[in-house]
Structure 1
Amino acid sequence: MNWIILIIAGLFEVAFASCLGKAKEATGTAVYWWYAGFLVSLTISMLGLVKAAQTLPIGTAYAVWTGIGAVGTALVGILVFKDPAHFWRIFFLSTLIGSIIGLKAVSHGGRDV
């Protein structure tokens, strides 16, 4: 269950980073709505990380959380913000995804002593 919470927390990390990007592009009162979305997403993301880290090793939980955030934010950047999507960028995003899957595969779900 905590892996699911951690994945959701990582997705909210993508949301708060995306809100910052949209706030940068927005004008008028829309800026405040994007910042409000940032604060809500940030809070949910952090609370999810805290909850998941209660049973998962903190190093694994943090690495997976930041990895989901990094890959997701890079993909949103490519798809929404028209960031470059050249071969090496996609290659290294793929290796990051492989690393996240590898951390899940070698984790026992509890604290290693």
Structure 2
Amino acid sequence: VDFPRTPSSDVNDYCNVMMMRRGMSFPGRCVTHNTFVHTEPADLTSVCTNQPDDSLCTSGQHFPVTVCNLIRSHPTCTYSGNQFNHRVRVKCAGDLPVVLDSTFQ
């Protein structure tokens, strides 16, 4: 979750900054893909309310998301980004979302 969304000059710059800031991008190791959800944490938590542990739950509402994909790993990790308004599927544990499984229209 990145709420409110971290300001950036464009979506690619956003991905490069956030991947480094969150420890997914540093010399010699580049995570290939990550999605940031831009909503209040409570909105995501509500997806898991009263759901069994380890269940995959899909939101009824759409959230703004930024999807970051690795396009180059040398000399530094470089990402391209795309913004969407998608529903999310999360894995729930203890009424909390613990893993973002996927996003879709």
Q: For this structure pair, what is the TM-score category when the shorter chain's length is used for normalisation?
A: under 0.3
Between the two structures, name the one with larger relative contact order (CA 8 Å, sep ≥ 6).
1
Instruction: Say which structure is richer in helix.
Output: 1
TM-score (norm 2): 0.27
TM-score (norm 1): 0.26
Instruction: Say which structure is richer in strand.
Output: 2
